């Protein structure tokens, strides 16, 4: 097990208890599948760190952390139901651990919410989870380029013209939201840089200057 895997497992155990170590290792191990380039253990670690940063804005930060562990647990490039399948896995795992029904319900809801990153007003947990998932958009130019390259690598089997069209559609949906980041802290720290990165990638994909 790598140092990163061990660190993630420690975080899982802190959340779910020592008796859940084997189950946690199985969940974390999914992020090391060979077809992944962006949706990896590193992404999960960054997301958990962002949740720590934004934790004061959450109504139930434990539910948000569980949702982070499960949100990309099932990831297949060719499927459109990864979030739903990941939510089902989260439900099954949490029920096997004897989690309270309200926690199970909230975690499964949050995992599905990461499909569109558009939580409703007043959804504190959803805002923290989605903001943490989108922190990557606010990296430096080099970091953002590495992120975009990793996403392209996951879709290596998709022809370039189709990828560009699909990727541009995803980015436009994000860019047209009134706010990318819903918590005040993330909005203040990341909004401007993230929008600049999105605009630059869209221009590269479409050939249209921002």
Give the pLDDT score at 210. 64
- pTM strictly above 0.85: yes
Considering the segment(s) 3-206 as one domain, its CATH architecture is: Orthogonal Bundle (1.10)
Give the contacts of 126 (CB within 8 A, at least 6 positions apart).
109, 110, 113, 119, 120, 182
Distance, in Å, from the CA atom of 132 to the CA atom of 51, rounded to the nearest integer, reads 6
Per-residue pLDDT, averaged over 137-146, amounts to: 97
Mean pLDDT of the chain: 96
Find out whether 128 and 117 touch, Cβ atoms under 8 Å: no
Domain ranges of the chain: 3-206
What dihedral angle (degrees, nearest 10) is formed by the CA atoms of 65, 67, 73, 74?
Answer: -170
- Read off the pLDDT of residues 22-71 as tens digits, 9 standing for 90 and up: 999 999 999 999 999 999 999 999 999 999 999 999 999 999 999 999 99
- Read off the pLDDT of residues 4-27 as tens digits, 9 standing for 90 and up: 999 999 999 999 999 999 999 999
Q: Which of 100, 89, 33 is nearest to 62 (CA)?
A: 100
């Amino acid at each position: 097990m790598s140092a990163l895997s061990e660190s993630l497992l420690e975080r899982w155990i802190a959340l779910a208890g020592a008796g859940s170590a084997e189950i946690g290792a199985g969940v974390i191990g999914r992020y090391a599948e060979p077809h992944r380039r962006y949706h990896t253990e590193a992404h999960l670690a960054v997301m958990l760190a962002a949740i720590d940063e934004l934790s004061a804005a959450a109504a139930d930060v434990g539910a948000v952390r569980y949702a982070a562990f499960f949100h990309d647990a099932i990831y297949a490039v060719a499927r459109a139901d990864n979030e739903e399948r990941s939510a089902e896995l989260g439900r099954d795992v949490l029920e096997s651990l004897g989690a309270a029904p309200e926690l199970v319900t909230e975690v499964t809801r949050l995992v599905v919410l990461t499909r569109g990153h558009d939580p409703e007003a007043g959804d504190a947990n959803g805002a923290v989870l989605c903001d943490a998932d989108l922190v990557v958009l606010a990296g430096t130019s080099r970091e953002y380029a590495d992120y975009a390259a990793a996403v392209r690598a996951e879709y290596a089997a998709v022809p370039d013209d189709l990828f560009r069209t699909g990727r541009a559609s995803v980015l436009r949906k994000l860019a047209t939201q009134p706010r990318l980041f819903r918590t005040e802290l993330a909005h203040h720290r990341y909004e401007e840089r993230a929008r600049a990165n999105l605009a630059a990638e869209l221009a590269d994909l479409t050939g249209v200057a921002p």
